[in-house]
Structure 1
Amino acid sequence: MTRRTRMTTLARYRGAAGAMAASAGLLLTGLATAPGASAAEAGTDAETAAKPVVCAGDVTFGIACFDPDGDHLRVEDLETDGWRIEARWATDYGRAGTCAIPTGKDYRDCNYDMAEGRELYFEVHAINEKFNLHEVLGHNWAVI
């Protein structure tokens, strides 16, 4: 990934994380429509509507975002503070894994091939092995 592509990607996911924080905890689970308007009235078909990027974590320390377009789980450590950021995930059909940044402040894109139309649960963890500390920064569900 080129530097320019990475910066564009980071801006997109930071925007999604900012929207997550601004929504006061409401899940970003659909396309925005006018109050009382159906998806059809908004010009979209509910079956083919784009699935949203879903984020979790702490916009100060570290975040993870799942993009169902390509099944990308992206993790970003936002601080050089001795803590490692990782996203632990599991699907509703039995797959599980971890997308981790082994060192400090960095970014990682984990590309998976997941079954469409299923669900993914992920948690963002901050780990400090030097002091044996572990914090869960957030969690979320996404439609694959």
Structure 2
Amino acid sequence: MRGVLAGAAVATPEAQAALLARHPAAEVLLAEDAAGTPLGFAILFDLPEVVFARSCGNLDDLFVRPEARGQGVARALIAAAISEGRARGWSHLRWIVPEADVAAIALYERIATRADWRSYVVRLDPAASL
């Protein structure tokens, strides 16, 4: 079964899990309720930060189930990523967000400082665009 996100086809959860399992640098933070039901996840990468001769964190994806939004799950996942980064000595934690994701931007504006760089992309596979 395939899911749909904003009109674009996305991979099944099994395919997504298989991809993460093959990528040795990907780490997943999982938010669950008291019964163990997944509420959301964050995918992190620990990357070299050559300018500072340290490492930094890259929050590659953050997702909260629609029925769990507005309950602090995203904020908790970001807090967990920050805590992990401090423990690892990261110089910073960074992430990108689509301009159209107004709800996410509202949260990020409250808990982080907007970076002073732009993000660009070269689409190599048009079918993989969101």
Point out the structure with the larger helix share: 2
Q: Greater relative contact order (Cα 8 A, min sep 6): structure 1 or 2?
A: 1
- TM bucket normalised to smaller: under 0.3
- Greater strand share, 1 or 2? 1
If the length of structure 1 is used for normalisation, what is the TM-score? 0.24
TM superposition score normalised by structure 2:
0.26
